[in-house]
Amino acid sequence: MQNYCNKPEDFFRELKGILIYDKSQISYIDQLKGKFPQPDEAKYKFTVLPGDANRKIPTKTISGNVYYQPDITISLVELTVKNRDEWYENFNKFNRFAVVLVSNTEMMMLGNDRFPLSITVTDTINDDGSGNDSFALNIYGDTIISPTVYKIVPKFKIVFFIPPVL
């Protein structure tokens, strides 16, 4: 019998960044084997605001077959006209992406060339003078590869945790 103590961890896990790749950059086999792409090959990099990410990866079944339905939402607050135009042009595309989620201790790959993810942006500006305006970036889709967590490796840690040299 396997005994689970259900003790809380002694650290805080928090999503720090998302690297977005074209689906062709991550093969089904590479994802299955846990072979991550190079961080500098990502098409887009987003730093996640502290406490902002809303992440769910429910398990579903269809005809007895298990699949996973990732649904990740983050806020985009750098609302320049240029950024908004780029987000509308580059996202709101369906079944075209794969992502790597990077936390302070772990990383996870979702989506691949056979089971790509979709990304949409939504204007969530309130126009109420609160200063809390943002866009929402939503990453979602279906995949049959279970969301496996890996210990973060230095090449991914550098991308989000080391300040750039000026």
Which pLDDT value is given to residue 104? 87
| pLDDT-above-90 percentage for the chain | 73
DSSP string, the chain: ------PPPSS---EEEEEEEEGGGS-HHHHHHT-PPPGGG-SEEEEPPTTT-EEE--EEEETTEEEE--EEEEEE----HHHHHHHHHHSSEEEEEEEEEEESSEEEEE--SSS-EEEEEEE----SSSS---EEEEEE--BSS---EEE--HHHHHHHHSPPP-
Mean pLDDT of 28-36: 96
**Sorting pLDDT into bands at 50, 70 and 90, what band is 162?**
low
Please check the confidence at residue 165 and state whether its pLDDT lies above 70: no
Q: Dump pLDDT digits (tens) for 73-125.
A: 999 999 999 999 999 999 999 999 999 999 988 999 999 999 999 999 999 98
Residue 129 confidence (pLDDT): 81
Q: Tell me: the pLDDT tens digits for 116-145? A: 999 999 999 888 887 788 999 999 999 999
Return phi, psi of residue 152, to 5°: -65, 135
Chain mean pLDDT for the chain? 91
pLDDT at 55: 93
